[in-house]
Structure 1
Amino acid sequence: MGRNTRKRRTPLAAKALAASAALALGGGGLLWANFHASAHESHHDVAWGGNRTKASTAQVVTISCPDVGQKLTDVPARARTEVAGELAGLDRQITDAYRRLATTRDAQARDAGFVQNSILQPLQDRRAAVLDRIGLEVTRVGGTVPTGLSALATCTGSAADRTTGGGQDGGGQQQGGGQASTGGQQGGTGQQGGTGGQAGNGPAAADFVDITKVQPNVPAKPRRTRSASTGTFTTRCGVNTNKNHNTDNVIVAPGVANGAHHLHDYVGNQKINAFAGNDTFLQGGTSCQNRNDLSSYYWPVVRVQDGSQDFDQDADGGGKEGNVGRILTPVQAQIKYVGSPTGKVVAMPQFLRIITGDAKTTTNGLANANAHWSCTGFENKVQLTAQYPICPRGSKVVRTFAFQSCWDGRNTDSANHRTHVAFADAGGNCQNGFKAIPQLTMRLVYDTTPPTLRNGQVKNAYAVDGFPEQLHKPATDHDDFISITTGGLANRIAKCINRGQQCS
């Protein structure tokens, strides 16, 4: 398989790109399928998770579809639920095409035009119908359809040796702190040893790096002013030992079962699913010690690909969509609200929704990536976006999130789930018209046997769950939050932080 070189983005260019892009809602994808060869074809070893199986590559095809959600930044509120459902439908179409690629290997081997005629063209037709419905929903409530929306129906295919896997740039710009991964020594030249993974859709050896070989890349924090809000508020909500999981995403795809196409851990509110809403959130109960914290904190699970399976091996969002292996429960989950280095914060509004990071960076690039991967003992030195760390003996994998800390003062959500909140600038200041709110930070720690790299293959890989076409890239990591409180807790959190106290 050919090797693709990846040009490293300069920090300045990465910052400019990060400032110019918006979060993708859905409807875009990069499909990948790896098929076992016919008996008469040559074979080679493929390693994953410690087991080696004889397999060969008859065809490897990627299908890149434009991300429709990036175009829909101004959907009227009355049409958002319907549009979100249609975008989730586009994701289902991509998943269906992905499955069709994986189950028609014989037909593809016999007919060079099969992918175009039987997969790409029908996919385009189905996407066109959805885009027409989105346009009708927007205009029905008086909105304006973005120019060029219909052109986003077309998807293109290419051989795997002509793709970098999408967006895996060693520069690894992150939001909310400007931290850039150096890429280290491993994986600086594209996908080595194929796409890899227990299900054949990642991660690859190039997605891992020995953290001890990465140069320190964590920048200094902004200087505090005299009016800084220096307190912290910690809420203890557990690590999801009760296995509260689902594959929905009520923020992005309300009312759509399996809208996430991957499995989430949930702590805090115990009744969050695609069909929950503001009227039912308050009846959800909570895993948090503070019973007034009914907020929902949820993130994609991490799995170790050691040849094992978990309860969802035959389920949508699980094994059916390439999310395989044993689910790892964090050994620690710290949820903390912190203040602003330049001023006081206002209380979060009830039902505020925030998504940090981008689940589709393999399609969209790294502009909205906000993944932070590290190891215990290295967190103040190295934070990675585009690679998973291989931690030394005695060190554990750490996954952290720093959410947007500026709010527009009006909306609890927006059409693209991003423009109502923003990150502070490098000096810690919110843009004009935005107010500083308590910044939600999360730190998840995992205890797993370190992966090993040999001959361009990875053994005992771990990876974050994702959409089937996103190749389990580390940059696709993301986190979701809905602020739900009772008993005046939101005001108490803000007051604690503004007074410089440490509360829980």
Structure 2
Amino acid sequence: MSYTAFREPDAGPTPRPGLLGRLARGKRGMAAGVAVVVIVVAAAVVYLADAAAEPEPSDAGNALEYAPPPAGQTESFGALPSGSAAAGPSASATPSAAAPPKVPAGGWILVDQAAWKAQVDAYKAVAIDPVPAGVGNLPEFRADCQYSHSLPDDPIVAPGLPGASHMHSFVGNKAVAAHTVAEDLTKFTATTCKPAQDRSAYWVPTLYDNATGKPVETTGFRVYYRSLMNSSTGQMPMPNGLRMIVGDAKKKQPTPRGATGQFYCAFYGPGDLDGVARSTNGNWPICGGNATLHFMMQFPDCWDGKHLDSPNHKDHVAFGAGNACPPSHPVKIPAITFDIQYGAKGTPEGYYLSSDKEGKSASSMHGDAFVMWDVDTMNKRTKNCVLQRRTCDNYGYQK
């Protein structure tokens, strides 16, 4: 499949030349028979939680008094053992009710260097699998996820504070709430993602139908782990427990036809990614034919090698340039890309995000990733697919 159009990123770090072309050529529709038009959303913008009132959550947590964690706290995420992938959706999805709630760390979170060294040593020892004939040369692997639950929580931006955020729609790990820490993602492994070895949590602000006030949840949520560079030299796997955000929840700018950072229509063949018409306020496309609303956002591909998170959730990661990472962030990691599909075609009344109920634009769209994979699977996929620059799907080489 090929794309009929793509749009340059919004203000922010600029991807290297050729990135959008590779994204377009390598993109596969998240629903069968849909060729997706690529929009890459600008990354590395500070996200601050918005406590605006929203409809009742599907699984609200209990409010607790918040105690700030010690500065420079080190987090041990507990590496997943080899062969642990079998404990997928059948595992417990929620922590025990008798367990006292934890207060997750915030600010600068130091990586457990011993655990990271063990992962790096194991990665270097991984043998590359033979490549079957016909495998493509797009350096990526992926997880396909479905909607899990909604909560006004954000364990990255507002850790330990149930109800402190605007409403979020979560995919992936089913146990995620305000008090979630990395160890929870290793212990409570029920997930809506395939493969089950991806125990990560991913979330975005909830989309609402402006006419009814009812949520419009994602009907497909593909997470790519890929190289954004023309060379994979020095490629490393993703460290478990890494937290990142992209987008700006406080951005309140209109998103008329032709604007960057807007929702778009995915379609077969000739068509208009901006829709055949627009909502009355001009901020939302109305899709023609079989097209539905989509959104895409891209995360950085370089890590400082020291911190799993930072106070603004961006300073510990960065975008590379010239096929290399900057000295401040020397570790080349797979770049996460969210490709999100909604079961909606657009209406004259349009929509609004939980992060901008008043302005009703799409400019506050943002995404969070709390990474947790079976270590052996992450190492193998990174080496086979990203380092070797071969196209993989959810389960390995794409044949």
TM-score, normalised with respect to structure 2 = 0.58
Superimposed CA distance per residue, residues 323-345 of structure 1 (whole angstroms, 9 cap, x where no aligned partner): xx121232322222111323222
Partner of 1:431: 326
Q: Distance in 2 between the 1:402 and 1:27 partners? A: 20
Q: Distance in 1 between the 2:249 and 2:337 partners? A: 18
Q: Which amino acid aligns with 1:255?
A: G
Partner of 1:397: 293
Give 1 or 2 for the bigger CA radius of gyration. Answer: 1
Query: Following TM superposition, by how much is the alpha carbon of 1:361 offset from its aligned partner in structure 2, in angstroms?
Result: 1.1
Compare the two structures and name the one with the higher helix fraction.
1
How many correspondences in the alignment? 267
Q: Distance in 1 between the 2:313 and 2:267 partners? A: 34
Q: Secondary structure at the match of 1:488?
A: helix
Aligned with residue 310 of structure 2, among 401, 414, 417: 414
Partner of 1:252: 157
- The answer to whether the 8 A contact 2:47-2:245 is kept is no
- The answer to whether the 8 A contact 1:232-1:500 is kept is yes
- The answer to whether the 8 A contact 1:370-1:401 is kept is no
Q: Secondary structure at the match of 1:502?
A: coil
Q: Distance in 2 between the 1:289 and 1:27 partners? A: 29
Query: Following TM superposition, by how much is the alpha carbon of 1:429 offset from its aligned partner in structure 2, in angstroms?
Result: 4.4
Superimposed CA distance per residue, residues 407-455 of structure 1 (whole angstroms, 9 cap, x where no aligned partner): 1122111111111112234x55433332321111121122324322xxx
Aligned with residue 78 of structure 1, among 70, 76, 83: 70
Distance change >3 Å, CA 383–CA 492, structure 1 → 2: farther
- The answer to whether the 8 A contact 2:294-2:342 is kept is yes
TM-score, normalised with respect to structure 1 = 0.47
The answer to whether structure 1 residue 265 and structure 2 residue 169 are counterparts is: yes
1:477-492 to 2 correspondence within 5 Å? 477-492=365-380
Q: Distance in 1 between the 2:206 and 2:169 partners? A: 6
Q: Distance in 1 between the 2:195 and 2:371 partners? A: 14
Aligned with residue 465 of structure 1, among 351, 354, 357: 354
Partner of 2:40: none
Q: Distance in 2 between the 1:247 and 1:235 partners? A: 25
Taking only the aligned residue pairs, the percentage that are identical comes to 25
Q: Secondary structure at the match of 1:361?
A: coil
Q: Which amino acid aligns with 1:287?
A: T
Q: Which amino acid aligns with 1:483?
A: V
Q: Distance in 1 between the 2:49 and 2:221 partners? A: 31
- The answer to whether the 8 A contact 2:218-2:341 is kept is yes
Partner of 1:441: 337
Partner of 1:332: 220
- The answer to whether the 8 A contact 1:260-1:467 is kept is no
1:371-382 to 2 correspondence within 5 Å? 371-377=261-267
- The answer to whether the 8 A contact 1:340-1:436 is kept is no
Q: Distance in 1 between the 2:217 and 2:46 partners? A: 28
Q: Distance in 1 between the 2:346 and 2:44 partners? A: 35
Superimposed CA distance per residue, residues 189-211 of structure 1 (whole angstroms, 9 cap, x where no aligned partner): xxxxxxxxxxxxxxxxxxxxxxx
Distance change >3 Å, CA 424–CA 382, structure 1 → 2: farther
Q: Distance in 2 between the 1:12 and 1:269 partners? A: 29
Q: Which runs of 5+ in 2 are unaligned?
A: 1-7, 16-42, 53-67, 74-105, 108-136, 254-258, 276-281, 395-399
Q: Distance in 2 between the 1:441 and 1:231 partners? A: 13
Distance change >3 Å, CA 382–CA 404, structure 1 → 2: farther
Superimposed CA distance per residue, residues 97-153 of structure 1 (whole angstroms, 9 cap, x where no aligned partner): xxxxxxxxxxxxxxxxxxxxxxxxxxxxxxxxxxxxxxxx99xxxxxxxxxxxxxxx
Partner of 1:306: 211
Superimposed CA distance per residue, residues 323-375 of structure 1 (whole angstroms, 9 cap, x where no aligned partner): xx121232322222111323222111110001011111129xxxxx9945211
- The answer to whether the 8 A contact 1:272-1:284 is kept is no
Superimposed CA distance per residue, residues 29-60 of structure 1 (whole angstroms, 9 cap, x where no aligned partner): 9x9xxxxxxxxxxxxxxxxxxxxxxxxxxxxx
Q: Which amino acid aligns with 2:347?
A: P
- The answer to whether the 8 A contact 1:466-1:472 is kept is no
Q: Which amino acid aligns with 2:156?
A: I
Q: Which amino acid aligns with 2:244?
A: I
Q: Which amino acid aligns with 2:355?
A: G
Query: Following TM superposition, by how much is the alpha carbon of 1:255 offset from its aligned partner in structure 2, in angstroms?
Result: 0.7
1:192-271 to 2 correspondence within 5 Å? 230-237=138-145, 239-240=146-147, 243-261=148-166, 263-271=167-175
Q: Distance in 2 between the 1:250 and 1:271 partners? A: 11
Distance change >3 Å, CA 347–CA 330, structure 1 → 2: same
Aligned with residue 287 of structure 1, among 192, 203, 211: 192
Query: Following TM superposition, by how much is the alpha carbon of 1:305 offset from its aligned partner in structure 2, in angstroms?
Result: 1.9
Partner of 2:201: 296
Q: Distance in 2 between the 1:275 and 1:358 partners? A: 23
Q: Which amino acid aligns with 1:408?
A: D
Q: Which amino acid aligns with 1:271?
A: A
Q: Distance in 2 between the 1:488 and 1:474 partners? A: 38
Query: Following TM superposition, by how much is the alpha carbon of 1:287 offset from its aligned partner in structure 2, in angstroms?
Result: 1.9
Q: Which runs of 5+ in 1 are unaligned?
A: 1-10, 32-75, 82-136, 139-228, 308-324, 364-368, 453-458
Query: Following TM superposition, by how much is the alpha carbon of 1:291 offset from its aligned partner in structure 2, in angstroms?
Result: 2.3
Q: Secondary structure at the match of 1:236?
A: strand
**Cα RMSD between the aligned structures?**
3.9
Q: Secondary structure at the match of 1:331?
A: strand
